[in-house]
Chains A and B, each alone.
Chain A
Amino acid sequence: MSRIGVFICHCGENIARTVDCARLAEESGKLPGVMVSVDYKYMCSDPGQNMIKRAIAEHKLDGVVVAACSPHMHEPTFRAAVVQSGMNPYLCEMANIREHCSWVHTDRELATEKAIDLVRVMVEKVKRNQELFPIRVPITKRALVIGGGIAGIQAALDIAAGGHEVILVERQPSVGGNMARLSETFPTLDCSQCILTPRMVEVARDPRITLYTYAEVEEVEGFVGNFKVKIRQKAKSVNADICNGCGDCWNKCPMKKIPSEFDAGLGYRTAIYVPFPQAVPNTPVIDREHCLKFLKDKCGVCAKVCTRGAIDYEMQDEIIEAEVGAIVVATGYDLYGIGKEQPNERWKGYGEYNYDTYKDVINGIQFERLLSASGPTQGEVRRPSDGKVPKSVAFIACVGSRDPEKGIEYCSKICCMYVAKHAMLYKHKVHDGQPYIFYMDIRAGGKNYEEFVRRAVEEDGVLYIRGRVSKIYKDGDQLVVVGADTLSDSQVQIRADLVVLATAMVPHKNAYEFAQKIGIACGSEGFYSEAHPKLRPVETMTAGIYLAGACQAPKDIPDAVAQASAAASKVQLLFSSDELEREPIVAKVNEVTCVHCRNCIRVCPYSAIDDKEIRDRHGNLIRMVAEVNEGMCMGCGTCVAACPSKSVQLAGFNDEQVFAEILALGHE
């Protein structure tokens, strides 16, 4: 016999306005098995909760239905309350008569009828609920950080400082990310390399951090506290244990005209290379697509000149398997391509700016390289076409950003700032030069940011022109920038020696596929989604996976670093206990009726089901069945739907319960 208590909440006016709570209580009280049915203004308040606790004792209840708001809001509250009266929390259920009823209906009569139905359904379910107990799983206290830009570096250092092991995976030959390519950084104009390299070195030196560069994460399996990952260490063709980074090899490599990715195509590198002088680690890799040894089985110079014998042309990719408890994704960003080729159909590119054809139309990162002391021009601003020092430079903001026509609606957030920085740094280097900035409006919200922009205008004479550029064409050896000046409502034409486009910050080309691979969500643009835009900004919807840096949204360095530290502290929090308690809403296979068709194994999105051998006591295999790993099951119920013989059941939502709910609806 069931002894169910029904507790109906008014939610102030929220429910009571549309649902006749007194009548609901009365009708619910008549349901078979219901011992007590009451309504109250705020069930979640202390007096409300006490009412439930008292009733459990008084009426010896063995099930509770709270008819109130969404279980998302208060299920934990009420379950905790019944526990205090000695009841198993899973014998308490909520009927949602707010979001599912009072908020979406206006007719009081009908809404009340529906509320009665909702309560009846839950009463029938609760009658069939069983006591469930939390599942405990151990936590592997080791973190994986994907991406070795400033965000990844910061997260790795913080987690390591907390005393935990970290695996840092970077797909380029060196850590550093985009920050390593920058010259000086707003708003303080400190040298990017100078503040970054100590951290890069620390990451390599910290004994708790294992660094894999030129490596990629291939596969992520498992769940919070217990991920299994596969990392592909691409063949570097150089034995890092032996190499001392002397540089003989890359100095002698005959392939000298390969456009350098690090210099955004403005400089060259060799086939065996380190991307930049301060690279960490400082051992080179061979780019097999350009190496003569691999292309034509010729050359072999690097092996000949390496006195330590570190070159190994036979080296193979290696798969490294690791177990980690938490993952920080810090894969950063890319820049909107303004040429013809775009990674998707929505992005249209900027044919009208002739980026494809004019060498002197470049993007922001390229300009950073021109400004950088370690860049292709040793820090002198010289334009790519003929090496001339440009006497006038036009900077164009919002290229790609905030331009739905070109496929992107969002603001890249950092461009206003770096455009001001660029103009300023240019002026510092070319005193008689004139910088122009085409902008839509200046977004300089940040500590000391507005002051920085003002300084550009007032001290460095940067000319800001408010309007979009419609066209860039060549006239002699100059570029003519045609645009609107919306403040004076006129057309302007600027003759510039160099044009710098502040192109939108975009996710990596394969961001979506990568998100799929590791099991997190991303928005339509491909930036990774946080669990809640305000309250859970560094967590993903997948427990145990966190976000840091520009892979989540356009960010500058301070924001990227702050988020990285926040993610690291979330990881530390997770690692602060030895075991994880998980909800027991998991699937279980009935081994008697399972016929091992493997449907469930194939459909489980979390790979939580495996084959199990059933043997007799002599060890002979009798048959095979499926078995759910409780630690990995997320309770989605996909297997339940896929099983033809109905041999899998989800605890808390078994067929009997669901049938009873449906039948209760059809009642009358």
Chain B
Amino acid sequence: MIEQIREKAKELLTSGEVKVVIGYENGGMPETTRPVFITSPDEVERLIWNKHCYANLANFFVRKEVASLGKPAIIAKGCDVKAITVLVQESQIKREEIVILGVTCEGVGEPLLSKCPICDVNTPRDYNFLFGKEIAPKNGINKSADVEEFERKSPEERWEFWEEQFSRCIKCYACRQVCPLCYCEVCIADKNQPQWIETSSHTRGNVHWNLIRAWHLSGRCIDCGECERACPVGIPLSLLNRRLAKSVKERFGYEPGYDQEKAPPFTDFKQEDSQEFIR
């Protein structure tokens, strides 16, 4: 499969159709990979594809340095493509200005990352070229089993849990930097007039930050799990993300990343929207 990808990358670069191919290369240590930006057809041999290609490369589209290289092609798993779809929806990129080299994926990581068993986009939903054998989407998966499990705890227990988790946050903002959908150039966390989020590493400010981050991604997060993977102190951010995703799905019947024509729920009003919370 990697041979075909390299071949296609070469072809695209040679013809000038794209100026850069964003993909993965060997990470230098066993079982690691890192993003690579191939701009010359001679370098395509550096591209690899394996179980350790975790990164969601869609993150790089909105980076100025990458954008300045010219039209990109990107190697994307099903989950990564969902991020691309949201970026298109939110007018951060134009679909026709990128080339998606979709790869079918049985899951990454050993053991599999938590998002993989509940993935229904093993074959990406959008691509220009597809590599690998198509995998039919799994039926009847419960995407919020871990949330339901967690919700069996009492509110006090849950609060205690999160307070403990957030108290360890060091506000490195790695979760934000790695998220393909956190593309604001000046984040609310950086605003100081007024200051929305306390910057000191006090639990109160940490809670502010973590809740605002999750909230800003509700109805948008496509569960690539990159934030959780990046967090140096191991806060289970995906659990929080999935909790919000569950609500959005229940209330608005919406899952981000599946349909770029659909209006995101928080910026769309419908007469029939559930309004039981207005009393």
Check if A and B associate: yes
Interface residues of A (CB under 8 A from B): 516, 592-593, 595-599, 602-603, 624, 642, 644-647, 655-656, 659-660
CB-nearest residue of chain A relative to B194? A659
B267: A residues at CB distance < 8 A: 598-599, 602-603, 642
CB distance from B269 to the nearest CB of A (A): 8
0/1 interface trace, chain B 246-279, chain A, CB 8 Å (1 if under): 0000000000000000011011110100000000
Query: When chains A and B are docked, how far (Å) is the Cα of A624 from the Cα of B93?
Result: 11
Q: Give Cα A596–Cα B88 distance, bound, in whole angstroms.
A: 12
Closest B residue to A657 using CB positions: B194
* Nearest CB in chain A: distance from B242 CB, A: 20
B194 with A595: CB separation less than 8 A: no
Segment at the interface with A among B75-83, B141-149, B183-191: B183-191
The 10 lowest CB-CB distance pairs between A and B, nearest first, are: A602-B267, A659-B194, A645-B184, A593-B186, A597-B90, A599-B267, A603-B267, A598-B91, A644-B216, A595-B184
By a CB distance below 8 angstroms, the chain B residues around A516 are 271
The A/B interface has a contact count, at CB < 8 Å, of 49
Flag if A645 contacts B186 (CB, 8 Å): yes
The answer for the CA separation of A516 and B270 in the assembled complex, in Å, is 12
Whether the Cβ atoms of B194 and A597 lie closer than 8 Å is no
A624 contacts across to B, CB distance below 8 A: 91
Q: Specify which of B194, B264, B269 lies most central, judged by the most chain A CB atoms within 10 Å of its CB.
A: B194
Please measure, in the bound complex, the distance between the C-alpha atom of A598 and the C-alpha atom of B267, giving whole angstroms. 9
> How many Å lie between the Cα of A646 and that of B184 in the bound state?
10
CA distance A656 to B266 in the complex (A): 24
Which residues from B are CB-within-8-Å of A647? 186
Complex Cα distance, B263 from A602, in Å, reads: 9
Q: Measured between alpha carbons, how far is A363 from B215 in the docked complex, in Å?
A: 57
**How distant is the Cα of A603 from the Cα of B266 in the complex, in angstroms?**
8
Q: Is the CB of A595 within 8 A of B266?
A: no
A-B contact pairs, 17 of them (CB 8 A): A592-B186, A593-B186, A595-B184, A595-B185, A596-B91, A598-B267, A599-B266, A599-B267, A602-B263, A602-B267, A644-B188, A645-B185, A645-B186, A645-B188, A646-B196, A647-B186, A656-B194
Q: Say yes or no: B185 contacts A642, CB within 8 Å.
A: no
B184 touches A644 (CB 8 A): yes
How extensive is the interface on chain B, given as a class?
20 to 34
Q: Per DSSP, are chain B's interface residues mostly helix, strand or loop, or mixed?
A: loop
Measured between beta carbons, the chain A residues less than 8 angstroms from B188 are 644-646
Judge whether B185 and A593 touch: CB under 8 Å. Answer: yes
Q: Are B194 and A642 in contact (CB under 8 A)?
A: no
| CB nearest neighbor in B for A595 | B184
| Residue among A642, A645, A655 with most chain B CB within 10 A | A645
Residues of chain B lying within 8 A (CB to CB) of residue A656? 193-194
Identify the B interface with A (CB < 8 A).
90-92, 183-188, 191, 193-194, 196, 216, 263-264, 266-269, 271
Q: Is the CB of B268 within 8 A of A595?
A: no
State the CA gap A396–B83 with chains docked (Å): 66
Given the complex, which residues of B lie within 8 Å of A644, measured CB to CB? Answer: 184, 188, 216
Q: A593-B184, A644-B216 are in contact. List 15 more A-B contacts (CB 8 A).
A: A595-B92, A595-B184, A597-B91, A597-B183, A598-B91, A599-B266, A644-B188, A645-B184, A645-B185, A645-B186, A646-B191, A646-B196, A655-B193, A656-B193, A659-B194
Asked if residues A602 and B268 are in contact (CB atoms below 8 Å), the reply is yes
Whole-angstrom CA separation of A516 from B184 in the bound complex: 34
Bound complex: CA of A656 vs CA of B194, how far in Å? 5
Question: In the bound complex, what is the Cα–Cα distance between A647 and B191 (angstroms)?
Answer: 10
A593 to B184, CA, bound (A): 8
CA distance A596 to B183 in the complex (A): 10
Q: Which residue of A lies closest to B191 (CB)?
A: A646
Kindly list chain B residues whose C-beta atoms are within 8 Å of the C-beta of A603: 267, 269
Chain B CB count within 10 A is highest, among A595, A647, A660, for A595
Tell me if A595 and B193 are in contact (CB < 8 A).
no
- Minimal beta-carbon separation of A563 from chain B (angstroms): 29
Complex Cα–Cα for A335 and B90 (A): 47
Across the interface, which residues of B come within 8 angstroms of A593, CB to CB?
184-186
Residue numbers in A under 8 Å from B186 (CB-CB): 592-593, 645, 647
Cα–Cα, bound, A660→B92 (Å) = 34
Chain A contacts for B196, CB-based, 8 A:
646
How many angstroms from the CA of A598 to the CA of B91 in the assembled complex? 7
Q: Point out the residues of chain B lying under 8 angstroms from A599, CB to CB.
A: 90, 266-267
Are A595 and B191 in contact, CB atoms less than 8 angstroms apart?
A: no
Which B residues are CB-close (under 8 A) to A602?
Answer: 263-264, 267-268
A592–B184 Cα distance when bound, in Å, is 11
Cα of A595 to Cα of B183 in the assembled complex, Å: 8
For B264, the chain A residues whose CB sits under 8 A away are: 602
- A239 → chain B, closest Cβ, in Å? 39
Of A592, A644, A645, A655, chain B has the most CB atoms within 10 Å of the CB of: A644
Q: Which residues of B sit under 8 angstroms from A597, Cβ to Cβ?
A: 90-92, 183-184
**Choice from B90, B187, B266, B268 contacting A645 with Cβ under 8 Å:** B187
Residues in A neighbouring B183, C-beta threshold 8 A = 595, 597
Given contact pairs A595-B183, A597-B91, A598-B91, A642 touches B193 in the complex (Cβ within 8 A): no
- Name which residue of chain B comes closest to A660, CB basis: B194
Residue in chain B with minimal CB distance to A602? B267
Which residues of the other chain, A, contact B187 by a CB distance below 8 angstroms? 645
